[in-house]
A and B are shown apart, each in its own frame.
Chain A
Amino acid sequence: MVHWTAEEKQLITGLWGKVNVEECGAEALARLLIVYPWTQRFFSDFGNLSSPTAIIGNPKVRAHGKKVLTSFGEAIKNLDNLKGTYSKLSELHCDKLHVDPENFRLLGDILVIVLAAHFTKDFTPACQATWQKLVGLVAHALARKYH
C-alpha cells in the first residue's frame, strides 16, 4: 500500500497544475528516443527518427508523447490507486506491445529531467524526491501485470 504524505501530494499536484502536458510529453518522449536510442525499437512505424532534429519534429512522437503524459495525469488524480489505474495498460504493454518494463524507468527518469529543466530552482530536492518516487511507482504499476 503506497503512502503519500500531504506534502508529497502537494508537491505533485502543485507542479502538475503548471505543466503543459502536450509540450512536456512530446519533449520527454523525444528525449527518451534520443538519449536511449534503442528505445526506438518500439516505434518503427513512426517514420523519420534518424536524428535528434527529426525526432523532435516528428508529429507522431509529439502525439504519442502527449498520450503518454495524459495517462500520467490520470495517475496523479488517483495517487492512492496507481495499481488499479494502470492495470489495463499494464496488460496491454505486456501482451500486445511487448515493452520491457525497464523502459518505464528510463522514461520516468527523463520526465524528471524535463520537469527539472522547466521548473529550475522550484524543482527542489524534496520535489525531485517526490517525483522520482511517483515515476518509480508508475513504472512498477505498469509492470505489475506482466507474466
Chain B
Amino acid sequence: MVLSAGDKSNVKGVFAKIGGQADEYGADALERMFATYPQTKTYFPHFDLGKGSAQVKGHGKKVAAALVEAANNIDDLAGALSKLSDLHAQKLRVDPVNFKLLGQCFLVVVATRNPSLLTPEVHASLDKFLCAVGTVLTAKYR
C-alpha cells in the first residue's frame, strides 16, 4: 500500500488540526482500545488501567508523539520509526493484529472529537497511514 501525495497531505492536515491535543487523542485511543478490545490489556499487566490512569495518559502521550513524528516524516516512515520498529520486534513483540485495533480506536477518537475533519477522503488517507505505521512497526518481527 502506497501513500499518495493526496494521502500525505490529508494526514499532515489532520495532525496540524489536532496540534497540541495529540496527547489527549493518544490517551483517549488507548482507553477506548482497552475498553473495546480487552485482550489488548494483556500487554500492560504492569499498568493501572483504571479510568484517568496517569500511566495510560503517559503512554497515550508517547503513542501520539510517535504518530506525529511519523506524520512529519511521512516520506520516510521506515526511517522515522526505525528505533520503534526495533523495540517492537525485539522487546515488546505486540502481535501484529493489535495495531489494527489501535488504529480503529484512533479513527474513532478523531471522529468523536473532530467529525468535520474526517471526510471520507481523509478517513481513507488516515486509515492507510495508520496501516502503514503498523506495517513498519512489525516489519522486523521475523
Fill in one digit per residue for B51-85: 1 if any A CB lies within 8 Å of its CB, else 0: 00000000000000000000000000000000000
Besides A52-B121, A113-B111, 19 new A-B residue pairs in contact (Cβ under 8 A), listed by A number? A30-B120, A34-B124, A55-B120, A112-B108, A114-B111, A116-B107, A116-B115, A117-B112, A119-B112, A120-B115, A121-B113, A123-B108, A125-B32, A125-B35, A128-B105, A129-B32, A129-B36, A132-B36, A132-B104
Note all chain B residues with C-beta closer than 8 A to A109.
Answer: 104
The answer to whether A120 touches B120 (Cβ under 8 A) is: no
Tell me the dominant secondary structure on chain A's binding face: helix
The residue on B at minimum CB distance from A110 is B123
Mark out the residues of chain B between 22 and 50 whose CB falls within 8 Å of any chain A CB in the assembled complex.
31-32, 35-37
The residue on B at minimum CB distance from A109 is B104
Min CB–CB distance A98 → chain B (angstroms):
25
Number of A residues contacting the other chain (C-beta, 8 Å)? Answer: 23
Note all chain B residues with C-beta closer than 8 A to A120.
Answer: 111-113, 115
17 A–B contacts, CB within 8 A, in A order: A31-B120, A34-B121, A34-B123, A56-B120, A112-B108, A113-B107, A113-B108, A113-B111, A113-B118, A116-B112, A117-B118, A118-B115, A120-B113, A121-B113, A125-B31, A128-B35, A132-B36
User: B111 touches which one: A34, A116, A132 (CB < 8 A)?
Assistant: A116
Interface residues of B (CB under 8 A from A): 31-32, 35-37, 104-105, 107-108, 111-113, 115, 118, 120-121, 123-124, 127
Note all chain A residues with C-beta closer than 8 A to B127.
Answer: 35
The answer to whether B124 touches A35 (Cβ under 8 A) is: yes
Note all chain B residues with C-beta closer than 8 A to A132.
Answer: 36-37, 104
The answer to whether A52 touches B120 (Cβ under 8 A) is: yes
Note all chain B residues with C-beta closer than 8 A to A52.
Answer: 120-121, 124
